[in-house]
Structure 1
Amino acid sequence: MATSAHGSLRSTLSQIFSILRLNRKDISAIYIFAILSGLVQLTLPIGVQTIINFVQAGTISTSIVLLIFFVVFGTFMSGLLQVRQMQLIEKIQQKIFVRYSFEFADRIPKLNIQKLDNYYLPELVNRFFDTMTLQKGIAKLLLDLPTATIQILFGLILLSLYHPVFIAFGIVLAITLVFILRSTATRGFDSSIRASNYKYKVAAWFEEMARSLKTFKYAKNTTLHLRQNDKLTTEYINARTELFGVLQTQYWSLIAFKVAITAAMLIVGVILLVGSEPQLNIGQFVAAEIVILTVIASVEKFIVNLDKVYDVLTATQKLDYVTEAETEKNGTIVLQDNTKPISVKFDHVTFGYQANQQVLKQLNLTVNAGEKVAIMGLSGSGRSSLLRLLTGAYLEFEGKIFIADVPIHNYQLASLRNATGILLNQQDIFNGSLLNNITMGCTSTQLSDVTELARTLGFDDYLAHAPNGFETILDPTGARMSKNDKQRILLLRALVGKHSLLLLEEPIKDLQPDEQQRVTNFLLQKTESTVIVTTDNAEF
């Protein structure tokens, strides 16, 4: 996944807007509440101004009591509207998490393995944790920044009602501010992306150390773990420093904006109040200063939330590494009948994992329906690659592969794999129950199918001694499981149910001699399946 595919600021902004469009009803309500809250807050200075004018008259009247009530009620309504905004924000945050969790869960099994061979997927999916960053950042973008923008806009409009000079001053400052922020945004985004990249590289190094703990523990006289961490951490710090430099430029721009508007409004306000021909009374002056304080507070919201903008942009781009990753290409033909054996044919097939490294070259092979074929050869001869090609996971090759006389590219891969029992060395167990590790949640597989197959293969004793039976939770790394037990589970997974084709890599490896014989006999008697096995065992 090249940076060019994901890294542009414009494309990331487009992705954020697409997320927001999914929640446009809630966001519209948030903005309506923000506008109402802003209007209510800006009516408060006018109420204070009127109260001051009444107080200067030296009397307490019903009008003053009503004005005080309305000011207090307005303060309450402003708070109520903010709470409603927060409720809608929480709803949007939950939707973001649900959306990305299901998108990751649905997309990961469909990822194009051939395109992702150069990536360590467990580290890549760590990007999911950026959903939390996106949730928090979206709250700031939707709650604080719109509210601040509306308050600044309405504040400048209200001040302009006191005197036209405020209009021109506000426009000049706003244009200057937008220009500075826009001119530095791209550099800040690039720096934020680099910092995030190195953050994940540091985490990946820790994961690699944990995965290879014994390697590092038993290594003699080494500081490799520290030197590598120092290298990655230094790059992270450099990127963060560059990002903070951009933020400082933007911070100072906003501070200058705040200072300029404070000075200008106070100076102009005083001149208009105490000039030879006063154009403001004391109530209007106090109200104007309250508005100025509101505008200043809103500008400060911009200052403290600028880094959140980059966090949201970066989090969205990082999530795209998985949500926009290339998935497998599917055909349209469904392989429906998995009760009959099917034929397999390789026609001048050339394949390599790298462009300049061919594993298979001009391979021609025909396996008739129902045949049992064992493929032997030296390591690196392409035996395993042959099986992987038949799973449909690697579709970029030269030549033709036919399954049941249909090109493999034409099949819907889900239907092809539904009719195929697969055992490859790259497969593993996962953190889940013993039953789920065998059936993979397939609803058509009955428990009786599993127990009958285990009895046939001689694995029933293992199942009987599992601590909690089929509900035994297996360790995801297999660290507390023997190779023998792991192979039994993977074999049961591949063989349970009905299959037109069985692709088995070293199926009897790590099994006991009597179990090896049982598995061999079982495969030879599978009349409803075509069986292709790779093995180093000459007696198989």
Structure 2
Amino acid sequence: MARNKYDVDEVLEDKFDVNQLKRLLAYLIPYRKRFVSVGFMMLSASAFTMLIPQFFQKVMDVCIPNKDMKGIAFYSFLTLLAAFYSAFSLRYKIKYTNQIGQQIIHDMRYDIFEHLQELPFSYYDDRPHGKIQVRVVNYVNSISDLLSNGILNTITDLCNLVFIIVFMLILNVRLTLVCLCGLPILAIVIVVIKKKQRTAWQVQSNKQSNLNAYIAESINGIRVTQSFVREDVNSGIFNNLSGSYRKSWMRAVMFNFTMGPSIDIISIITTAAIYVLGVSWMINGETGITVGVLVAFTAYIGRFWAPINTLAGFYNSLLTAISYLERIFETIDEPVVVKDREDAVEMPPIHGDVAFDHVTFSYEPGVPILKDVSFHANQGQSFAVVGPTGAGKTTLVNLLSRFYNVDSGRILIDGIDIAGVTIRSLRKQMGVMMQDSFIFSGTIMDNIRYGNFSATDEEVIRAAKTVCAHDFIMEMENGYQTQVNERGSRLSAGQRQLISFARALLADPKILILDEATSSIDTETEIILQKGLNELLKGRTSFIIAHRLSTIKNSSCIMYVDKGTILEKGTHDELMAQKGEYYKLYMSQYASLM
């Protein structure tokens, strides 16, 4: 999928083919035994109820003329027995098909979510998150009925149709042929609307995706919206997107609703023809046509068109589902470009020696962000990375965590190329605190423990004390058990960063990455936190990205990065003595204080 936003329709990169239907059926395989048992129940019930018109014929042509009350009672009992068995089978089907359908939906949704966990940052950089979410929730829900009832109903109805045609042929061949004359007309209707119907549902899925993307964006940015009094403008945008969704939905269902009336019209015409011809042949004394035969045959006519109507409904559901399946399987098939190589090995315990060896990287071909970057950090050293916005600072540390693959060059940890080790074994030994201090819904204790579930409460509290988060946590109503909202909306920006800092510390990493770790902390807290930082950085190799230069003065090495290259490198005193770019940056921040 190309770079996208809420007002741009998505373009399918892979068109739908029959193999995707096979993939869908593959989700049924684990539940095939239950499907077979339900199918057997439905088919046996269907075969039993198919005999009811035969009972009617016997009653009309034999029992009533011969005044055989026992025969009437016998056939009535068999009819009642067939009805009870059919009701029992239907109840069995409803119970278990819904269970199976929901389990399949769970399996499919799990596959999508699991795959999303593995996709690289670049996938999320190019897409509104609402358009990703709609695939996991709405699109999967939309095919729930198809999986739970549609497939099984189709199989049983096809068998029912065969049973019905056989019984109809046994009763009268000519009347059966008259009934079948309606099928070519129905086939023409299906062919005419098929392409338009599928296209309409593809458009509808696009409009639904756009609407969902804008809703998600609006909720995430509600504070900015209200601050700039954008409510009316946003409501107008929403109204346009919702209106487009409504129009696309109405057009799509228009084609769906074409099928039902078409079948009804064809069935009425063929039924009328059978009545006219049947009565005419009976009056003219045609052999094989009796009142009982005509009554039984008209009963079969209703049964004949009922499964066809169901099959048409399945066809509609299938075309609807195809537009969603295309998006679902497109997501599942999205390549994981940052993944373990086939010969990847576990990363040994890290000591902390890091080297960039002629590393070049670009997000888009031909637009390099880092150009031939090389440096070496010894175990336990703290490397600070500074420079203007967009210089490539965050990209540099993201490559160290293998969130992206390098275009060329190597990144070595303890002399081992990280491209040849498993991602999990690498990241488990690294601690990362990014610019976006994301807080999950749950307790403060759970958020700090997020990177180390085995940590005890005492270890969590010790980490919080180290980064000066303990005091404000204890002032909250339930201390560490205080519930915080998604994205930490109850907390200040500084509090969120301190909790994220404690989270990174608790993971006890050998390599620590701090991306603007103190950007939202006031100067007074920063002074206190610096003491904890000194303890945190002991024995660890650390990379600190900072705009506030007071936090990095004591770093082992400071690298000034701009336009994808390292322009200057050295200690604070060395760089100040050079009076180069770092000197200018430092003086611009502190000139007013000197």
Alignment correspondent of 1:494: 504
Q: Percent identity?
A: 18
Alignment correspondent of 2:349: 337
Alignment correspondent of 2:78: 70
Q: Which amino acid aligns with 1:432?
A: G
* Stretch deviating more after TM superposition (313-322 or 453-462): 313-322
Distance 1:108 1:222, change over 3 A: closer
Unmatched runs of 5 consecutive residues or more in structure 1: none
Q: Secondary structure at the match of 1:353?
A: strand
- Alpha-carbon shift at residue 198 of structure 1 (Å): 0.4
Does structure 1 residue 120 correspond to structure 2 residue 131?
A: no
1:90-148 CA-to-partner distances (Å, cap 9, x unmatched) read: 12122123313433443332222123311122441132133332222333413544444
Alignment correspondent of 1:205: 214
Does structure 1 residue 357 correspond to structure 2 residue 348?
A: no
Q: Could you tell me whether the CA contact under 8 Å between 2:178 and 2:274 is conserved in 1?
A: no
Distance 1:257 1:9, change over 3 A: farther
CA distance in 2 between counterparts of 1:427 and 1:96 reads 36
1:536 to 532, 540, 547: 547
CA distance in 1 between counterparts of 2:79 and 2:230 reads 73
Q: Equivalent residues in 2 for 1:368-379 (5 A)? A: 368-379=378-389
Alignment correspondent of 1:275: 284
Does structure 1 residue 405 correspond to structure 2 residue 415?
A: yes
Does structure 1 residue 483 correspond to structure 2 residue 490?
A: no
Q: Could you tell me whether the CA contact under 8 Å between 1:265 and 1:292 is conserved in 2?
A: no
- Alpha-carbon shift at residue 162 of structure 1 (Å): 1.9
Q: Could you tell me whether the CA contact under 8 Å between 2:352 and 2:541 is conserved in 1?
A: yes
Q: Could you tell me whether the CA contact under 8 Å between 1:344 and 1:369 is conserved in 2?
A: yes
CA distance in 2 between counterparts of 1:270 and 1:414 reads 79
CA distance in 2 between counterparts of 1:123 and 1:383 reads 29
CA distance in 1 between counterparts of 2:358 and 2:396 reads 13
1:17 to 22, 25, 45: 25
* Stretch deviating more after TM superposition (499-508 or 60-69): 60-69
**Cα RMSD (Å) of the superposition?**
2.8
- Alpha-carbon shift at residue 297 of structure 1 (Å): 3.0
Alignment correspondent of 2:555: none
- Alpha-carbon shift at residue 166 of structure 1 (Å): 4.6
Q: Could you tell me whether the CA contact under 8 Å between 1:367 and 1:373 is conserved in 2?
A: yes
CA distance in 2 between counterparts of 1:106 and 1:470 reads 30
Does structure 1 residue 291 correspond to structure 2 residue 300?
A: yes
CA distance in 2 between counterparts of 1:353 and 1:324 reads 21
Q: Could you tell me whether the CA contact under 8 Å between 1:50 and 1:283 is conserved in 2?
A: yes
TM (norm. structure 2) is 0.83
CA distance in 2 between counterparts of 1:459 and 1:224 reads 40
Q: Secondary structure at the match of 1:125?
A: helix
Q: Could you tell me whether the CA contact under 8 Å between 2:131 and 2:213 is conserved in 1?
A: yes
Q: Could you tell me whether the CA contact under 8 Å between 1:273 and 1:285 is conserved in 2?
A: no
Alignment correspondent of 2:55: 47
* Stretch deviating more after TM superposition (227-236 or 492-501): 227-236
Q: Secondary structure at the match of 1:23?
A: helix
CA distance in 2 between counterparts of 1:264 and 1:139 reads 37
CA distance in 2 between counterparts of 1:364 and 1:61 reads 101
Unmatched runs of 5 consecutive residues or more in structure 2: 3-10, 552-594
Alignment correspondent of 1:505: 515
Alignment correspondent of 2:586: none
CA distance in 1 between counterparts of 2:172 and 2:20 reads 42
Q: Could you tell me whether the CA contact under 8 Å between 1:346 and 1:400 is conserved in 2?
A: yes
Distance 1:404 1:253, change over 3 A: farther
Q: Which amino acid aligns with 1:41?
A: T
Q: Which amino acid aligns with 1:538?
A: L
Q: Could you tell me whether the CA contact under 8 Å between 1:194 and 1:239 is conserved in 2?
A: yes
Q: Could you tell me whether the CA contact under 8 Å between 1:431 and 1:474 is conserved in 2?
A: yes
Q: Equivalent residues in 2 for 1:78-157 (5 A)? A: 78-127=86-135, 128-157=137-166
1:215-234 CA-to-partner distances (Å, cap 9, x unmatched) read: 44455698533443354345
Q: Which amino acid aligns with 1:279?
A: G
Q: Could you tell me whether the CA contact under 8 Å between 2:360 and 2:373 is conserved in 1?
A: yes
Aligned length: 538
- Alpha-carbon shift at residue 395 of structure 1 (Å): 1.0
Q: Secondary structure at the match of 2:549?
A: coil
CA distance in 2 between counterparts of 1:244 and 1:53 reads 46
1:56-98 CA-to-partner distances (Å, cap 9, x unmatched) read: 2252443322221111001111111111111221121221233
- Alpha-carbon shift at residue 325 of structure 1 (Å): 3.1
Distance 1:405 1:268, change over 3 A: farther
- Alpha-carbon shift at residue 417 of structure 1 (Å): 0.9
Distance 1:423 1:523, change over 3 A: same
CA distance in 1 between counterparts of 2:270 and 2:148 reads 28
CA distance in 2 between counterparts of 1:195 and 1:118 reads 22
Q: Secondary structure at the match of 2:357?
A: strand
- Alpha-carbon shift at residue 490 of structure 1 (Å): 0.6
Does structure 1 residue 416 correspond to structure 2 residue 416?
A: no
1:350-380 CA-to-partner distances (Å, cap 9, x unmatched) read: 2232334332222112112221111111111
* Stretch deviating more after TM superposition (11-20 or 84-93): 11-20
Q: Could you tell me whether the CA contact under 8 Å between 1:157 and 1:167 is conserved in 2?
A: no
Distance 1:159 1:8, change over 3 A: same
Q: Could you tell me whether the CA contact under 8 Å between 1:9 and 1:186 is conserved in 2?
A: no
Distance 1:245 1:9, change over 3 A: farther
Q: Secondary structure at the match of 1:359?
A: strand
Alignment correspondent of 2:484: 474
Q: Which amino acid aligns with 1:423?
A: M
Q: Could you tell me whether the CA contact under 8 Å between 1:348 and 1:399 is conserved in 2?
A: yes
Alignment correspondent of 2:459: 449
2:200 to 183, 191, 199: 191
Q: Could you tell me whether the CA contact under 8 Å between 2:464 and 2:499 is conserved in 1?
A: no
CA distance in 2 between counterparts of 1:100 and 1:92 reads 12
* Stretch deviating more after TM superposition (413-422 or 436-445): 436-445
Distance 1:260 1:4, change over 3 A: same
Alignment correspondent of 1:440: 450
CA distance in 1 between counterparts of 2:349 and 2:68 reads 92
CA distance in 2 between counterparts of 1:195 and 1:411 reads 44
